[in-house]
């Protein structure tokens, strides 16, 4: 194999790679869809892989939706029969971490979208209810919940100074866990705009608290462990397909998976080559084994 080889492949070589793997892990945004538009050919690729007996999983750092809402999105974008069990989001895995890994009891102060709150509740975890602060409430007199034992930060379009202030008060207690759904710095929107990602909000809280968050999403190994604990999954027979070198490809490398960069999303072939040519050994973790233009290339490769 071409480990960290950054090798462009298609056709027969891609066919051989897919033949050699039993499990395919797809990142979502930038790989199978962009926002609300499926990548051309992606639904057919997922179907063709499953028809050939491959197991397909979706591994997304997007914490904004609960799993059930992803099922609906898959259906809406033309992906037939994607099962809730195949979807691993950073919100779902954060809840699983708190339930199964952290010896955790108490409440979570969650900064995040409704998706984060819903997954926590589904996992049976108590969450501090968000309430509107009255006009006389400020950072020195706001109520703090004495039962909070964890702070979880994810993408939150209603992020505020008050949330930041409360979170760093909770984190003064060194026993209080500090988790982040994902480290993503930003995400592309339509029309060339970007939106700040969970990583930027986490960075604010890391500075304010002088602590470092435990990251649950890619590139942390935990998401793979989450899948492996539910499905018998062997890294050697698994392939990670992603569009962001710093999360998806590093995740694959961290977990011992073969990696494919697809060029329908954030990272470019040139950026991968810059990492490959770097003198810093750590940068090698950012280099994919293979590069495809689009996962649509999988279709002709499968049909070879």
Annotated catalytic sites, by residue? 27, 29
DSSP SS3 for 35: coil
**Residue among 24, 42, 56, 62 that touches ligand PLP (CB under 6 A):** 62
| Minimum distance of ligand PLP from residue 32's CB (angstroms) | 8
Residue 30 or residue 288: which is nearer to ligand PLP going by CB? 30
| Minimum distance of Ca ion from residue 30's CB (angstroms) | 4
Under the binding rule (CB under 6 A), the answer on residue 184 touching ligand PLP is: yes
Under the binding rule (CB under 5 A), the answer on residue 27 touching Ca ion is: yes
Q: What is the token pair recorded at 64?
A: 């904004």
Beta strands in 97-203 (DSSP E): 107-111, 126-127, 148-153, 177-180, 186-188, 194-196
| Minimum distance of ligand PLP from residue 298's CB (angstroms) | 18
Comparing CA positions, the residue from 108, 90, 113 lying closest to residue 98 is 108
Residue 70 or residue 109: which is nearer to ligand PLP going by CB? 70
Selected range binding Ca ion among 19-27, 71-79, 159-167, 176-184, rule: CB under 5 A: 19-27
Listed in sequence order, the residues at least 6 apart from 291 whose beta carbon sits closer than 8 Å to its beta carbon are 6, 7, 8, 9, 260, 261, 262, 263, 269, 272
SS3 content of the chain, % helix, strand, coil (to 5): 40, 20, 40
* Cβ(249)–Cβ(231) below 8 Å: no
Alpha-carbon gap, residue 92 to 58, rounded angstroms: 12
Under the binding rule (CB under 6 A), the answer on residue 29 touching ligand PLP is: yes
Under the binding rule (CB under 6 A), the answer on residue 197 touching ligand PLP is: yes
Instruction: For residue 188, report the phi and psi dihedrals to the nearest 5 degrees.
Output: -70, 140
Alpha-carbon gap, residue 66 to 192, rounded angstroms: 27
Alpha-carbon gap, residue 114 to 127, rounded angstroms: 12
Under the binding rule (CB under 5 A), the answer on residue 297 touching Ca ion is: no
Q: What is the token pair recorded at 46?
A: 């997922």
| Minimum distance of Ca ion from residue 152's CB (angstroms) | 21
Give the total of residues touching Ca ion (CB under 5 A).
Answer: 4
Residue 13 or residue 34: which is nearer to ligand PLP going by CB? 34
Residue 57 or residue 149: which is nearer to ligand PLP going by CB? 57
Selected range binding ligand PLP among 24-32, 45-53, 74-82, 290-298, rule: CB under 6 A: 24-32
Residue 156 or residue 246: which is nearer to Ca ion going by CB? 246
Under the binding rule (CB under 6 A), the answer on residue 43 touching ligand PLP is: no
Under the binding rule (CB under 5 A), the answer on residue 182 touching Ca ion is: no
Under the binding rule (CB under 5 A), the answer on residue 184 touching Ca ion is: no
DSSP state of 132: P
| Minimum distance of ligand PLP from residue 37's CB (angstroms) | 12
| Minimum distance of ligand PLP from residue 153's CB (angstroms) | 12
Alpha-carbon gap, residue 84 to 67, rounded angstroms: 6
Instruction: Give the distance from CA 143 to its chain's centroid.
Output: 32
Question: Which residues on adjacent β-strands are paired with residue 215?
Answer: 180
Cis peptide before 82 (omega within 30 of 0): no
Considering CB distances under 5 to 8 angstroms, the limit depending on partner class, which of ligand PLP, Ca ion, none binds residue 197?
ligand PLP
**Residue among 4, 21, 30, 171 that touches ligand PLP (CB under 6 A):** 30
What are the residues binding ligand PLP (CB under 6 A)?
A: 27-30, 60-62, 64, 155, 184, 187, 197
What are the residues binding Ca ion (CB under 5 A)?
A: 27, 29-30, 243
């Amino acid at each position: 194999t071409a480990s960290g080889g950054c090798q462009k492949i298609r056709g027969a070589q891609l066919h051989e790679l897919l033949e050699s793997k039993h499990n395919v892990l797809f990142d979502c945004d930038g790989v199978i869809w962009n926002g609300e538009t499926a990548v051309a050919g992606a639904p057919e690729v997922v179907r063709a892989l499953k028809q050939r007996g491959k197991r397909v999983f979706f591994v997304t750092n997007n914490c904004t939706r609960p799993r059930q809402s992803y099922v609906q999105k898959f259906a809406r974008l033309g992906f037939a029969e994607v099962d809730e069990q195949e979807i691993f989001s950073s919100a779902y895995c954060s809840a699983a971490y708190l339930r199964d890994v952290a010896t955790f009891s108490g409440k979570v102060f969650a900064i995040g979208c409704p998706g984060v709150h819903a997954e926590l509740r589904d996992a049976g975890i108590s969450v501090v209810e968000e309430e509107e602060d009255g006009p006389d409430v400020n950072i020195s007199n706001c109520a703090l919940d004495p039962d909070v034992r964890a702070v979880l930060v994810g993408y939150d379009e209603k992020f505020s100074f008050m949330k930041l202030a409360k979170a760093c008060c909770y984190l003064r207690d060194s026993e209080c866990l500090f988790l982040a759904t994902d480290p993503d710095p930003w995400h592309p929107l339509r029309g060339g705009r970007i939106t700040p990602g969970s990583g930027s909000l986490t960075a604010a809280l890391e500075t304010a608290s002088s602590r470092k968050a435990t990251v649950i999403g890619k590139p942390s190994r935990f998401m793979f462990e989450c899948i492996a604990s539910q499905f018998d999954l062997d890294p050697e027979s698994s392939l990670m397909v992603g569009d962001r070198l710093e999360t998806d490809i590093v995740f694959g490398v961290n977990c011992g998976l073969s990696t494919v960069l697809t060029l329908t999303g954030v990272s470019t072939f040139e950026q991968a080559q810059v990492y490959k040519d770097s003198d810093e050994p750590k940068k090698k973790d950012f280099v994919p084994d293979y590069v495809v233009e689009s996962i649509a290339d999988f279709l002709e490769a499968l049909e070879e």
